[in-house]
Structure 1
Amino acid sequence: MTDSHISADMSNPIRQNVLDVVAGSFGGIGQVLAGQPFDTIKVRLQTQPQLYSGTLDCIKKLIKSDGFMGLYKGTTSPLMGVGLCVSIQFFTLEHMKRSFRSKNNGLDLDNSQLFLAGSVAGLTNSVVSGPVEHIRTRLQVQSSSIPSTSTPGNGPSSNYAGTFDAIRKIYTSHGLAGIYKGQVPTLIREFFGYGFYFSAYEYLVQNEMKNTGRPRDQISNIKICLFGSAAGFAMWLTCYPIDTIKSKIQTDGFSGSKDRKYFGVVDCLRKTVRAEGIAGLFRGIVPCLLRAAPANASTFICFEFSMRMLQKYF
């Protein structure tokens, strides 16, 4: 069965790599624009459960304090970084797929190969996604109605004027380690989450190709969106608890700060369960799952459509 991404003109691998990166960038932009409001609500519910009674209450209070654009807090950071993140993901994924397919003598990848390709793509992406999400989450949880009570760049209640201000203050006070705060849970989430994410999507695409006899570039847009949505659900239903831990650590005080609550993944897990029960690990999952459908449908339709156009005209 023909997979247009894999069977592209591999006599020019540099060209194909460039196409993977460019198409991935469009996928990342689509993901951010469709999913940012849901992500803002998710992060607030994960990290400030005492302030909200649920999803609708969080939306109401956020809009009341910061206006509708409060739902897009921290968007500059992901727009700058998620395009790069998704480029890295798809570049690595497509490279892994071609490598595995070569070893398989042209046959489709099995489930373990799909999972491994997705996991490696996630790990590679974490170099960028860790700091991008750290900056985004800090901006998402700060409110214009709450005055800063902490030393700039030092605690969870610090106020930042924007993405660049946050980067400057954090780096000045805590160096590169501060920018990469929460990287351990990020690595865990990326490995397992993207393993399930990409393997689910690629399994559905391969199954569709087998059942219809059509190549990848002839799969309908509506099915691409449905497969992307299903991949998003597969990711978040399997890795949401570690994402909660990641968000809590990334919005916690820095090392040496009196605002610091957590001293690692295990400590954060233990304290969260003790204070909130197992349900505390799943706070914010409703907006997360609501986000999964449009954000990931947008990611894959933008990637697939961009790839088709790029292969056609370049």
Structure 2
Amino acid sequence: MGDVAKDLVAGTVGGAANLIVGHPFDTIKVKLQSQPTPAPGQLPKYAGAVDAVKQTIAAEGPRGLYKGMGAPLATVAAFNALLFTVRGQMEALLRSHPAQPLTVNQQVVAGAGAGVAVSFLACPTELIKCRLQAQSALAEAAAASGVALPKGPIDVAKHVVREAGMKGLFKGLVPTMGREVPGNAVMFGVYEGTKQYLAGGQDTSNLGRGSLILSGGLAGAVFWLSVYPTDVVKSVIQVDDYKKPRYSGSVDAFKKILAADGVKGLYKGFGPAMARSVPANAATFLAYEITRSALG
């Protein structure tokens, strides 16, 4: 099996592990990010992450925490296979000879290149996911217009295409790239840097699973620390109405979030995102490394 095929398979397994572990956290993150700013004197829909979990389970049952999972589940293989495959090919281009380990700086470049590639797949996938996750926030607007809310990923996609054409599926592409490119650059750089630190050198082939879990968890945490406000902007744009949008673009969304909620508005849902990032990314990298090693 060639290196590309190995990265495809290992990336698929890693992505599945990430989704299973992390999706409930992601659901709460999007609910908090997309809830409207309350009128003066009124309380927000969710008091915080724990309250969002309680309200979601009360209204929809535990399955509500996995709402919107169909869209990323349908594309998780392609997304993570693409991420790790492009990263692998970038690594091959950066090496002066096949057996040479990459430096941390080279891993940063490889991660940025992978981020560009996956942005075009992540944008429509996350738009569908976010609109399903945020349906409770969209319900009032839908009821006022007499339009029934979409029932699942395919229904959401059809609704979006009817509203805005195929280009509507790529709403939020700019902030998606603003998240994926620097985020993956930092994530892969931190992952490799942590592995090399734990291994005491560039040869990390003998690291145990505990070291891989630690490296992957730390890398995931740094990803979200570095790009979280961009993710908030992406989420509000992607759940925005197509016919009567509140935001004209990323800069406008950024300004309006700051004006309405201050800097803290750019960190709505930060707790669930960070709680998700460590176990989900640890699972991703561990599953990837184990699978890649098993494939030879």
Q: TM-score surpassing 0.5?
A: yes
| 1:221-300 matched pairs, under 5 angstroms | 221-254=209-242, 257-258=243-244, 260-300=245-285
Residue in structure 1 matched with residue 289 of structure 2 by the alignment:
304
Taking structure 1 as reference, are residues 133 and 287 closer, same or farther at Cα in structure 2, changes over 3 Å only?
same
**Residue-pair matches, total:** 288
C-alpha contact 2:198 2:211 (8 A) present in aligned 1 = no
C-alpha contact 1:65 1:144 (8 A) present in aligned 2 = no
C-alpha contact 2:79 2:122 (8 A) present in aligned 1 = yes
Confirm or deny that 1:59 pairs with 2:53. yes
- State the one-letter code of the partner of 1:290: A
Confirm or deny that 1:122 pairs with 2:115. yes
Kindly provide the CA deviation profile for residues 241-280 of structure 1, in whole angstroms up to 9, marking residues without a partner as x.
00000000000011xx13x100001100000000000000
Hey, what's the Cα distance between the residues in 1 that align with 2:212 and 2:100? 22
Hey, what's the Cα distance between the residues in 2 that align with 1:152 and 1:56? 32
Residue in structure 1 matched with residue 70 of structure 2 by the alignment:
76
TM-score by length of 2: 0.91
Hey, what's the Cα distance between the residues in 2 that align with 1:27 and 1:190? 17
Kindly provide the CA deviation profile for residues 148-204 of structure 1, in whole angstroms up to 9, marking residues without a partner as x.
326688xxxx61110111111212332111111111100111111111111111112
Confirm or deny that 1:39 pairs with 2:32. no
C-alpha RMSD over aligned residues: 2.1
TM-score by length of 1: 0.86
Deviation at 1:82, TM superposition (A): 2.3
| 1:183-198 matched pairs, under 5 angstroms | 183-198=173-188
Identity of aligned residues (%): 35
Hey, what's the Cα distance between the residues in 1 that align with 2:87 and 2:203? 22
Residue in structure 1 matched with residue 40 of structure 2 by the alignment:
none
Hey, what's the Cα distance between the residues in 2 that align with 1:281 and 1:52? 16
Kindly provide the CA deviation profile for residues 66-113 of structure 1, in whole angstroms up to 9, marking residues without a partner as x.
11110000001111112211111100111111221227x854433332
- State the one-letter code of the partner of 1:223: S
Hey, what's the Cα distance between the residues in 2 that align with 1:146 and 1:123? 34
Kindly provide the CA deviation profile for residues 21-41 of structure 1, in whole angstroms up to 9, marking residues without a partner as x.
111001111111000000000
Residue in structure 1 matched with residue 158 of structure 2 by the alignment:
168
Hey, what's the Cα distance between the residues in 2 that align with 1:214 and 1:199? 15
Hey, what's the Cα distance between the residues in 2 that align with 1:207 and 1:188? 29
Deviation at 1:57, TM superposition (A): 0.9
Match of 2:136 among 140, 143, 152: 143
C-alpha contact 1:65 1:145 (8 A) present in aligned 2 = no
Residue in structure 1 matched with residue 105 of structure 2 by the alignment:
112
Deviation at 1:146, TM superposition (A): 4.4
Hey, what's the Cα distance between the residues in 1 that align with 2:180 and 2:164? 24
Secondary structure at 2:143 match in 1: coil
Confirm or deny that 1:132 pairs with 2:119. no
Deviation at 1:53, TM superposition (A): 1.1
C-alpha contact 1:66 1:145 (8 A) present in aligned 2 = no
Residue in structure 2 matched with residue 5 of structure 1 by the alignment:
none
Structure 1: unaligned runs, 5 residues or longer: 1-13
Hey, what's the Cα distance between the residues in 2 that align with 1:96 and 1:151? 48
